[in-house]
Amino acid sequence: NAGVTQTPKFQVLKTGQSMTLQCAQDMNHEYMSWYRQDPGMGLRLIHYSVGAGITDQGEVPNGYNVSRSTTEDFPLRLLSAAPSQTSVYFCASKGQGQTGELFFGEGSRLTVL
Amino acid sequence: SQQGEEDPQALSIQEGENATMNCSYKTSINNLQWYRQNSGRGLVHLILIRSNEREKHSGRLRVTLDTSKKSSSLLITASRAADTASYFCATPGLSGNNRKLIWGLGTSLAVNP
C-alpha cells in the first residue's frame, strides 16, 4: 500500500521556468491538498480538492495552479517559478468526513534560483 | 495567520524522561490534531481529540484539551531516541471543518540517548 506518493523529491528551477509537482494516492480519498513548509512559517495550505473536478484555494494560492481530473491524482503546477517559491511541498489526503487524519507524502524540495 | 502556537519551540531531554509540549489556539474548535514530523519526512498523524473530550491516550501519548483556555498539551512518557522529531498541532479553520487546517509552528523535540 503506497499511500501518498510525491514526485520529484528534489528539483532545482531557474526563475521563470514552469514545472509540475505530482501527487498520487491509492486510498480512494476524496480530499487532497497541497501545503508548503517554510522555516518559521509552518505549514501553509496552497490549494485543496474535495473530489474530482472540484478545487479550492487555501491560504497561499498565488503562483500555483491545480486540477483534479481523477480521484487518485492532484498535480500542483508552477507556471513561472519565483525564488519566493523555494520551499518544501507536501501533498496530503484524507478520507470522507469532516474530521479525520491527513496522510502526507514524503515531500518535494524545490529550489528556485 | 497561525491558529495553533506550540511551546516550547525546542525541547531537549534524556531518554526515559517525559516530554510535554503545549498548543494554544484562538478560535472555538470542534477538534484538534497532533502530528509528528521526523527530519526530512512527511507528517504523521498521532492523535485527534474532539472538543467534548478532555483527555485521550494512545500508547505512550497523552493528549489533553482545555477548551476554556483554548489550549492542548501532548505528553510523551518514557521518551526514546526515536521520538526525536518535530510535533505540530492543527486545528480547523474558520470553516469549522478539517478542509482548511491551520498549523502551529511546531515543537522540536530532541531525545538524547
Q: Does B50 touch chain A (CB under 8 A)?
A: yes
**Cβ(B80)–Cβ(B92) under 8 Å?**
no
A5-19, A49-63, B2-16, range with the lowest pLDDT: B2-16
Average pLDDT of the residues in A88-101: 85
Query: What pLDDT does residue B1 have?
Result: 37
Residue B2 scores a pLDDT above 60: no
CA angle B49, A92, B88 (to 5 degrees): 45
Residue A67 grid cell: 486540477
pLDDT in tens, A27-37: 999 999 999 99
Write the CA distances from B22 to A11, B6, B12, B59, B112, integer angstroms: 35, 5, 15, 19, 21
Cα–Cα distance, A2 to A57 (Å, whole number): 27
The neighbour count for residue B9, using CB atoms within 10 Å, is 12
A-chain CB neighbours of B88 within 8 Å are 42-43
Binned at pLDDT 50, 70 and 90, residue B93 comes out as: confident
Average pLDDT of the residues in A39-68: 94
* A-contacting residues in B 62-81 (Cβ below 8 Å): none
Task: Indicate yes or no: CB of A4 within 8 angstroms of CB of B45.
Answer: no
Write the CA distances from A24 to A27, A28, A86, A109, B29, integer angstroms: 9, 10, 22, 17, 30
By Cβ distance, the residue of B40, B48, B99 closest to A48 is B99
pLDDT in tens, A3-49: 999 999 999 999 999 999 999 999 999 999 999 999 888 899 999 99
Sign for the pseudo-dihedral over CA of A88, A91, A97, A101: negative
Q: Does A60 touch chain B (CB under 8 A)?
A: no
The fraction of chain A above a pLDDT of 90, given in percent, is 88
Cα–Cα distance, A103 to A92 (Å, whole number): 5
Shortest Cα distance, chain B CAs vs residue A103, angstroms: 7
Q: What is the DSSP string of B9-74?
A: SEEEEETTS-EEEEEE-SS--SEEEEEEE-TTS-EEEEEEEETT-SEEEETTEEEEEETTTTEEEE
Residue B90 has φ and ψ, to the nearest 5°, of -140, 135
3-state secondary structure of A38: strand
Shortest Cα distance, chain B CAs vs residue A23, angstroms: 13
**Could you tell me which of A51, A43, A48, A30 has the C-alpha nearest to residue A89?**
A43
Average pLDDT over chain A, rounded to whole? Answer: 94
